[in-house]
Structure 1
Amino acid sequence: MIKLVIFDADKTVWDHYNISEFEAPLKLVDENVLQDSLGRTLKLFPNVRKTLEKLKERGVKIGMATWNFPEKTKAVLETLGLDKYFDVVISRDFPFKFIMISEIIKRLREQGMSVKPEEILFVDDRRAHFGNVWLYLGNINCLEMWKDVNDHMELISKL
């Protein structure tokens, strides 16, 4: 049984490839679209909000492991009103997802939740990250967004 779902951000949760280049202030264009001060836009993929709500309803913990500057990730999540869904967000300026996932597991343990690798689902748009996740963290379930699933709501059926 999956107790923790961890999402990548760029090209997994939203359509932009690198929010670290966004410049403040950020403004909401509509519920699922934001724009930075230079006019760059970011749009949530369909059903992201609905999927996060369903996960929460089921009591599943939600994490984010993203290769972005932490202050940029925080600003985007807050502007979109998504920060309330995530129990732990680890945003680092390096690509090593297995380290970020380890940090998420550690933070949850500090909050009193123990989770085994097979109880974790990691969703990323790049399969390249999965090898080190399995090598260093064990039998974590990994799904490649847009290959293994084509809509965020499909993730619910994978639980």
Structure 2
Amino acid sequence: MKIKVVIFDADKTLWDHYNISEFEDPIKIINKNEIEDAKGRKLKVFPDVRETLEELKKKGIILGLATWNYPDKTQKILQILDLYKYFDVIVSRDFPYKFIMINEILSELRNKGIKIKPEETMFIDDRRSHFGNVWLYLGNIKCVEMWKDIKCHSEILHMLD
């Protein structure tokens, strides 16, 4: 079945930092793919992320974000990096349960009249440990472990069918 929705994790999946919730203002832009917070913590967007998100949008794929971070920090970092515009639904929570976040994303799409089956959904995360509950509670979602199942973001484009 064709993939209609791709849901990304953020930390260690879209960028190299492990926890953007700890970032403190002011945040300095080093370049379009790199920022630094008040304490010198740096974050760098992984190669191919922007191009892959743009290509997914061109293909009509709905993009979601499910991240274990404080919502205000997620929104701020996505806006500073100019990545916010790519995501149709963003769910950022202060708990690690990705299956709950993915369910929220799919529910929000249903509320907008977009019905998505589990097998039409792809979830990309750097931690395989989240996949068990995704499958248990949500069904046959295609889960992809970043850096193990794929080595770069552009490989996602070849996994859509």
Q: Judge same fold: TM > 0.5, yes or no.
A: yes
One-letter amino acid matched to 2:143: C
The CA deviation at 1:15 is: 0.1
RMSD: 0.6
Q: Deviations over 1:12-60 (max 9, x none)?
A: 0000000010002222110100111211110000000000000000000
Maintained 8 Å contact 1:65/1:100? yes
One-letter amino acid matched to 2:56: L
Taking structure 2 as the reference length, the TM-score comes to 0.97
Maintained 8 Å contact 1:27/1:79? no
Q: 2:37 & 2:74 partners in 1: Cα distance?
A: 13
Q: 1:128 & 1:26 partners in 2: Cα distance?
A: 31
- Any unmatched runs of 5+ in structure 2? none
One-letter amino acid matched to 2:32: E
One-letter amino acid matched to 1:158: M
Instruction: Identify the residue that residue 112 of structure 1 maps to in structure 2.
Output: 113
Which aligned runs of 4 or more in structure 1 are off by greater than 3 angstroms?
none
Query: What secondary structure sits across from 2:153 in the alignment?
Result: coil
Instruction: Identify the residue that residue 130 of structure 1 maps to in structure 2.
Output: 131
Q: Deviations over 1:101-157 (max 9, x none)?
A: 000001111112110000000000000000000000000000000000000000000
Instruction: Identify the residue that residue 77 of structure 1 maps to in structure 2.
Output: 78
Question: 1:1-159 maps to which residues of 2 (within 5 A)?
Answer: 1-159=2-160
Maintained 8 Å contact 1:14/1:43? yes
Q: 1:101 & 1:116 partners in 2: Cα distance?
A: 12
Q: 1:39 & 1:4 partners in 2: Cα distance?
A: 35
Taking structure 1 as the reference length, the TM-score comes to 0.99
